[in-house]
Each structure stands twice: as C-alpha cells, then as structure tokens.
Amino acid sequence: MKIKSRNVLRKTDEKALINDIEEAFGDTAAFRNRKLELVETDEAEFIFVDGEPLLFRIEGKIFPSVKGALKLVPSKRIVVVDPGAVKFIINGADVMGPGIVEADPDIREGDLVIVVEKAHGKALAIGKALMAGKDMVGKSGKAVKSVHYVGDELWNLEQK
C-alpha cells in the first residue's frame, strides 16, 4: 500500500469528523487536540491521528481501524467472540455465528462492526454485519464479513 497524498485537516473538517465519531461511538477523547491528517493511498483513504492510521473510509463512511478501536474503546457496534475464534479472525477469517457470545442488538445487517475478544475486550477485526445483531449469537453460518484485522496490510501501514 503506497501513500499518494497526505494533508493536515482544516479545523472545520476536523470538527465535523470528531462530531461524526462522537455520534457513532460516543467517546472522542483519543482524537481531540491531536494532529489529524487525511492520507490517501492507492487502495483507501485514512485519517492519521498523530501519525497512526486510527480511522479509515469504507463505503463512504469513516470508521475506526483496529488500532483506532483499541484507542477509542467504543461501546456500540460490538460483536464479542469466544477465545476459540480468535486465531481464525486474526488470520482474516469471517466471523461465524457459533463463535459469537454477544452482539450489540442495535446492529443492522450491512452495518460496520468491531469484533472483540471476550477475555480482555480487545479489538481483533473490523467487519460488515451479514445479519442483525440480535440474530448473531450462536447462529450457524457467517455473521460478519471481515474487512480489516490485526496483522493485515492496514494494521502494518506505517507513518512515512
């Protein structure tokens, strides 16, 4: 993944971005009074916060990367998986219903979600819900399509 352009956000754009994050996830302390940059690569668009890719644009919406979810610790759009699913998810596998122990009931099919492990509540992946949150727990088949996960190219994208 190669960086094509990198620009510091204007104050008005920064305020709008922070408002969007607050509306979607609640807490925005990790993004306030930080250097926010819009970074375009050959594959995607990111928001770097103090040089780290904590947000990215997917399907026209800004969403936290796994690193962003680890810093933001959101309370909405969460899918919790059991320890047996972790090794598959961090290798890029989609999230299967039997591995899900809890899901935000407000998740709708097509929503972007944050997949976290049960033991410590740490983010493992970002994905797209293939069913409603209330229907995910223990169902058979795929529940979340993986979009970005620990150890992938976005995770390893470095400040340059």
Q: Would you say residue 109 lies in a domain?
A: yes
CATH of the domain at 49: 3.10.450.120
Is 158 inside any structural domain?
no
In the sheet that 100-103 helps form, which strands lie side by side, from edge to edge? 95-96, 142-149, 123-129, 112-117, 78-81, 100-103
Mean residue pLDDT across the chain:
87
Q: Give dist(CA 41, CA 4) in Å, integer.
A: 5
Per-residue model confidence as pLDDT tens digits over 37-53:
888 887 788 888 888 88
What tens digit of pLDDT does each residue of 7-45 get? 888 888 888 887 777 776 666 777 777 888 888 887 788
**Structural domain range at position 115:** 78-149
**Domain annotation covers residue 82:** yes
Q: How confident is the model at residue 146 (pLDDT cuts 50, 70, 90)?
A: very high
Residue 135 has pLDDT above 80, yes or no: yes
pTM for this one?
A: 0.86
Domain boundary among 72, 97, 128: 72
What gap in Å lies between CA 139 and CA 133, rounded to an integer?
11
Rounded to 5 degrees, φ, ψ at 46 are: -130, 160
Total count of domains within the chain: 2
Whether residue 65 lies inside any domain: the answer is yes
Which of 55, 72, 89 is a domain's end point?
Answer: 72
pLDDT beyond 60 at 159: no
Instruction: List for the chain the helix, strand, coil content (%; round to 5).
Output: 20, 35, 40
pLDDT tens digits for 51-93? 888 888 887 778 888 998 888 777 889 999 999 999 999 999 9
Predicted local distance difference test score (pLDDT) of residue 73: 75
